[in-house]
């Protein structure tokens, strides 16, 4: 929120069920001892005009006397779709729709929300690390890491930004991973295991750390998963990738960070259900019996990001 070129209030939607960004910004403005009347509000998504877990934001903007609202991207959900800007204009507020780089950045920032609003499915981001010769695993006895330390730090940040992390049962059986975001004060995502036959070991790190984050196991319709449910795991029954994503979407999950392994990644690709791919290419060769630093010590990974779909 801005008046005469000065920021007088800021806010964001921190968590489902809490204040929306507009109301958080108005609250911050008042805490600063500022009067929002006559100010300009800049928002990344059009203000809502319907009652949900929070009341409509357009009402708060009109009550506060905001004179101008600049909107970076539209809300594609059926219950919104332009209603907010129309109500604001009817209330005498000047409404401007951003264009160019700002509009593109806002639309990309809101991709998980936009896809879920349009399809009911979470946005799927594939992450993989590979060597220069296309290998995704290291030789036996070697370090399990293909990517470098800086790349792994970035992955933990991406995990914290996602609703869920997903892997296949092969990865769990091979690595017994935690699948947590290990960054300061990280928001922990739900951990999802695609495990058709319910083979997840009851003594796995995933089930031993349920207090850190829930574990959701996706099994086939004919599988008995009573033991996993009794161990504390949530169970989703799905006969396909598409059905699994629909189940996750109904649970309110808007983003899925797909980490492995290659079998699960291939299944998602075959189903056409990868929206974004982030591939680390490490400067090493793994085709022989040992790792070879192809570009010499200190060479860093290359990150290749491909966006297959935009919502």
Whether the pLDDT of residue 17 is over 90: the answer is no
Q: Say whether both 97 and 178 belong to one domain.
A: no
Q: Quick check: is 246 in a domain?
A: yes
Count of structural domains within the chain = 2
Q: Say whether both 277 and 128 belong to one domain.
A: yes
Per-residue confidence band for 285, with pLDDT thresholds at 50, 70 and 90: confident
How does strand 6-7 pair with strand 2-3?
A: antiparallel
Q: Quick check: is 291 in a domain?
A: yes
DSSP 194: E
Round to whole Å and give the CA distance between 268 and 289. 30
Q: Say whether both 161 and 278 belong to one domain.
A: yes
Q: Say whether both 92 and 151 belong to one domain.
A: no
What is the pLDDT, as a whole number, of residue 59? 95
Q: Say whether both 46 and 139 belong to one domain.
A: no
From 109, 141, 157, the end of a domain falls on: 109
Radius of gyration, alpha carbons of the chain: 23
Q: Quick check: is 105 in a domain?
A: yes
Q: Which residues are catalytic?
A: 22
DSSP codes, 62-129: HHHT--EEEESS---STTTTTHHHHHHHHTT-EEEE--HHHHHHHHHHTHHHHHHHHHS--EEEEEEE
DSSP 134: S
From 61, 82, 109, the end of a domain falls on: 109
Q: Quick check: is 116 in a domain?
A: no
Structural domain including 137 reads 121-307
Q: What percent of the chain has pLDDT over 70?
A: 98
DSSP 217: E
Q: Say whether both 255 and 170 belong to one domain.
A: yes
What is the pLDDT, as a whole number, of residue 294? 75
Q: Say whether both 68 and 181 belong to one domain.
A: no
Question: Which is it for the CA torsion 36, 37, 43, 46, positive or negative?
Answer: positive
Q: Quick check: is 303 in a domain?
A: yes
Q: Quick check: is 217 in a domain?
A: yes
Whether the pLDDT of residue 284 is over 90: the answer is no
What is the pLDDT, as a whole number, of residue 133? 84
Return the CATH number at 129: 3.40.430.10
Per-residue confidence band for 289, with pLDDT thresholds at 50, 70 and 90: low
What is the per-residue pLDDT across 203-262, written as a single tens digit (0 to 9) for each?
999 999 999 999 999 999 999 999 999 999 999 999 999 999 999 999 999 999 999 788
Average of per-residue pLDDT values in the chain: 92
Return the CATH number at 68: 3.40.140.10
Q: Are the CB atoms for 147 and 301 separated by under 8 Å?
A: yes
Q: Say whether both 56 and 139 belong to one domain.
A: no
3-state helix, strand, coil in the chain (%, to 5): 30, 20, 50
Round to whole Å and give the CA distance between 228 and 217. 8
Q: Say whether both 302 and 187 belong to one domain.
A: yes
Structure tokens at 242: 């598409």
Q: Say whether both 137 and 257 belong to one domain.
A: yes
From 54, 86, 109, the end of a domain falls on: 109
Q: Are the CB atoms for 165 and 192 separated by under 8 Å?
A: yes
Whether the pLDDT of residue 126 is over 90: the answer is yes
Q: Quick check: is 114 in a domain?
A: no
Nearest Cα to Cα of residue 193 among 208, 214, 211, 162: 214
Q: Say whether both 129 and 274 belong to one domain.
A: yes
Q: Quick check: is 268 in a domain?
A: yes
Structure tokens at 90: 């009817």
Q: Say whether both 209 and 266 belong to one domain.
A: yes
Round to whole Å and give the CA distance between 77 and 82. 10
């Amino acid at each position: 929120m801005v008046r005469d070129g000065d920021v007088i209030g800021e806010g964001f939607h921190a968590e489902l069920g809490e204040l929306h960004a507009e109301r958080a910004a108005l609250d911050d403005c008042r805490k600063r001892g500022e009067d929002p009347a006559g100010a300009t509000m800049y928002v990344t998504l059009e203000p809502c005009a319907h009652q949900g877990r929070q009341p409509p934001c357009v009402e708060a903007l009109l009550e506060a006397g905001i004179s101008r609202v600049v909107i970076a991207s539209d809300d594609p959900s059926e219950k919104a779709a332009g209603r907010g800007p129309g109500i604001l204009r009817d209330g005498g507020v000047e409404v401007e729709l951003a264009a160019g780089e700002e509009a593109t950045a806002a639309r990309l920032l809101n991709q998980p929300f936009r896809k879920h609003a349009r399809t009911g499915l979470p946005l799927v981001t594939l992450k993989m690390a590979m060597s220069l010769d296309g290998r995704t695993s290291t030789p036996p006895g070697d370090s399990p890491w293909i990517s470098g330390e800086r790349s792994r730090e970035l992955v933990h940040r991406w995990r914290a930004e996602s609703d869920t992390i997903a892997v296949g049962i092969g990865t769990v059986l091979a690595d017994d991973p935690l699948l947590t975001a290990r960054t300061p004060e990280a928001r922990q995502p739900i951990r999802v295991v695609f495990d058709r036959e319910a083979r997840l070991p009851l003594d796995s790190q995933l089930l031993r750390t349920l207090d850190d984050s829930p574990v959701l196991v996706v099994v086939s319709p004919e599988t008995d998963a009573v033991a996993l449910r009794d161990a504390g795991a949530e169970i989703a029954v799905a006969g396909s990738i598409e059905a699994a994503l629909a189940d996750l979407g109904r649970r309110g999950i808007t983003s899925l960070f797909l980490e492995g392994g290659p079998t699960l990644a291939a299944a998602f690709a075959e189903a056409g259900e990868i929206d974004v791919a982030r591939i680390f290419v490490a400067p090493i060769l793994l085709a022989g019996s040992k790792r070879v630093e192809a570009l010499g010590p200190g060479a860093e990974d290359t990150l290749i990001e491909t966006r297959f779909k935009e919502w």
